[in-house]
């Protein structure tokens, strides 16, 4: 490789710094040239193993042939009409297919937007229109998006909310149940009762919104017992339950919808990320009576439910079924959790490994009691893995969690190769070289 090629990433990063505001972050100083499956090649020709998948977007892998073929065929037909002006079959067909599998009570209806934040914001609109109530209760540590409404719902300040307020009124946060960090199910339920007592009466609350597994918050699965109690509390007070499945959906956890693991039935579900296989689309799915609450014209958007993205999403649903990606997710998750525990033990690290399906994380601590989060080690691991051409991403309120977001279509051999690199990287930074 010539010297000019080797400098491409640095040159492009310099251009990026000059052209873009600093608020648009970037995890790795890397520019992609092409990608396939679970691999990315940069502009300098180097190959990287991708354990990020565009933040759990390409669950079907980069450039899955069926997804690309479906999108290309749609582009040959037409690229845009605005569904609210001239409709097209793929939008309706996608809604029909999601309605048929959505774990809601009774008939379901769906509509589409372009981003996860739009889906969440529209779910709140629907909930308020149906209940005629203003209040929304979210949870500490949650991430729901970067619009003003979804930032208000997000339960983490830095970096998302810093300097961005004020946020919309009538949003409240309850403690998220996480035994590891000292918050029990009882603590969370008590926190909700305190909101009802001190901040807003339940008769004014439109919805609870919760991620079945917190994403940016640290990959903490919500205990089934808590979801059941939340459903009962919602029913008692006429409150809707919104499941934010933006990151957990589309086979990531071993089910199409993560909340299916609990048997709890939400009233509204939001989806995005994995739904489009790399094309921008999001969905709001819910009980038909709830979804019909907004008046005509109250929902939609110029680019919402793009025909190209709808075609891609239909292909994603086909791939998930045909390649049995839900089953594959469970298998991959078991293998990753077992191997990560072995790696951390061999490297004498203090850690917790957890996950639901292939939504797997390893959390690092400085002490055996797991009271002191180790953000420094976590950051160093991401950096060392990058040097060895493995892409990782951290998360968590304390910045001490590595979340593995592998494409669900990757081979066993590539999974092991990536985990080998992770182990070598952790050995290097922890001083436990083999």
Query: Where is the domain boundary, 291, 322, 353?
Result: 322
Is there a single domain that holds both residue 309 and residue 196?
Answer: yes
Q: What is the pLDDT of residue 289?
A: 98
Instruction: Among 278, 298, 322, give the residue marking a domain's end.
Output: 322
Boundaries of domain holding 290: 66-322
Average pLDDT over residues 331-351: 96
**For residue 4, is pLDDT > 90?**
no
Average pLDDT over residues 57-80: 98
**pLDDT of the residue at 431:** 84
pLDDT at 395 over 70: yes
Cα(254)–Cα(275) distance, rounded to whole angstroms? Answer: 15
> What is the spatial distance between Cα 375 and Cα 373, in angstroms, rounded to a whole number?
6
Residue 6: per-residue pLDDT: 67
Q: CATH number for the domain including 210?
A: 3.40.640.10
pLDDT of residue 368: 95
Q: How many domains does the chain have?
A: 2
76 Cβ neighbours under 8 A, 6+ residues apart: none
In the predicted structure, residue 2 carries a pLDDT above the cut 80: no
> Could you read off the pLDDT of 364-390 as tens digits, one per residue?
999 999 999 999 999 999 999 999 999
Q: Are strands 359-365 and 350-356 parallel, antiparallel or unpaired?
A: antiparallel
Write down the pLDDT at residue 432: 76
* Strand ranges (E), 307-349: none
What single DSSP character describes residue 295? P
> What's the pLDDT at 5?
62
| pTM > 0.85: yes or no | yes
From 274, 292, 322, give the residue that closes a domain: 322
Indicate whether 349 and 204 sit together in one domain: no
pLDDT band at 434 (very low <50, low <70, confident <90, very high): low
Q: What is the mean predicted confidence (pLDDT) over 1-19?
A: 84
Place of tokens 């976590």: 378
């Amino acid at each position: 490789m010539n010297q000019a090629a080797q400098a491409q990433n640095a040159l492009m990063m310099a251009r990026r710094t000059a052209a873009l505001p600093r608020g648009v972050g970037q995890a790795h100083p890397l520019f992609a040239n092409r990608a396939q499956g679970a691999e990315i090649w940069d502009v300098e020709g180097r190959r990287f193993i991708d354990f990020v998948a565009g933040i759990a977007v390409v669950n079907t892998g980069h450039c899955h042939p069926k997804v690309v073929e479906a999108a290309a065929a749609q582009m040959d037909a037409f690229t845009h009409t605005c569904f609210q002006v001239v409709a097209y079959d793929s939008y309706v067909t996608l809604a029909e297919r999601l309605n048929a599998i959505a774990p809601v009570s009774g008939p379901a209806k769906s509509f589409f937007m372009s981003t996860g934040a739009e889906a969440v914001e529209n779910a709140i609109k629907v909930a308020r229109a149906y209940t005629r109530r203003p209040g929304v209760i979210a949870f500490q540590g949650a991430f729901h998006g970067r619009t003003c409404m979804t930032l208000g719902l997000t339960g983490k300040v830095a970096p998302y909310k810093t300097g961005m307020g004020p946020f919309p009124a009538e949003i409240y946060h309850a403690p998220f149940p996480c035994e590891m960090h000292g918050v029990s199910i009882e603590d969370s339920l008590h926190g909700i009762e305190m909101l009802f007592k001190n901040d807003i009466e339940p008769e004014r609350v439109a919805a609870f919104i919760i991620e079945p597994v917190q994403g940016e918050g640290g990959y903490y699965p919500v205990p089934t017992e808590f979801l059941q109690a939340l459903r009962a509390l919602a029913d008692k007070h006429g409150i809707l339950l919104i499941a934010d499945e933006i990151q957990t959906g589309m086979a990531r956890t071993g089910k199409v919808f993560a909340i299916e693991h609990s048997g709890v039935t939400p009233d509204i579900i939001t989806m995005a990320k994995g739904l489009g296989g790399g094309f921008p689309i999001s969905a709001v799915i819910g009980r038909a009576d709830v979804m019909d609450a907004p008046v005509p014209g109250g929902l939609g958007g110029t680019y919402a439910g793009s025909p190209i993205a709808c075609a891609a999403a239909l292909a994603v649903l086909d791939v998930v079924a045909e390649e049995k990606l839900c089953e594959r997710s469970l298998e991959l998750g078991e293998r990753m959790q077992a191997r990560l525990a072995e790696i951390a033990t061999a490297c004498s690290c203090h850690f917790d490994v957890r996950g639901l399906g292939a939504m797997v994380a390893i959390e690092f601590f400085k002490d055996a009691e797991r009271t002191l989060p180790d953000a420094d080690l976590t950051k160093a691991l991401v950096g060392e893995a990058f040097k060895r051409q493995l892409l990782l991403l951290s998360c968590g309120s304390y910045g001490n969690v590595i979340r593995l977001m592998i494409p669900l279509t990757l081979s066993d051999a590539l999974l092991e190769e990536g985990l080998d690199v992770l182990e070598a990287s952790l050995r290097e930074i922890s001083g436990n070289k083999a």
